Structure 1
Amino acid sequence: MAATVEIPLVGGSADGQLVTVELDPNDRPPLTHHHVGSGGLAEADIYELESIDAQAQQWCYRWRGQAV
Structure 2
Amino acid sequence: MATTVEIPLVGGTADGEHVTVELDPNDRPPLTHHRPGPDGLAQAEIYELESVDAERQQWRYRWRGQAA
TM-score, length basis structure 2: 0.98
For these two proteins, the number of residue pairs brought into alignment is 68
CA-atom RMSD in angstroms: 0.5
Residue 39 of structure 2 aligns with which residue?
39
CA distance in 1, matches of 2:6, 2:34: 15
TM-score, length basis structure 1: 0.98
Displacement over 6 Å in runs of 4+: none
CA distance in 1, matches of 2:38, 2:17: 16
Quick one: percent identity of the two aligned structures? 78
**The residue matched to 1:45 in structure 2 has which SS?**
strand
**The residue matched to 2:25 in structure 1 has which SS?**
coil
Gaps of 5+ in 1: none
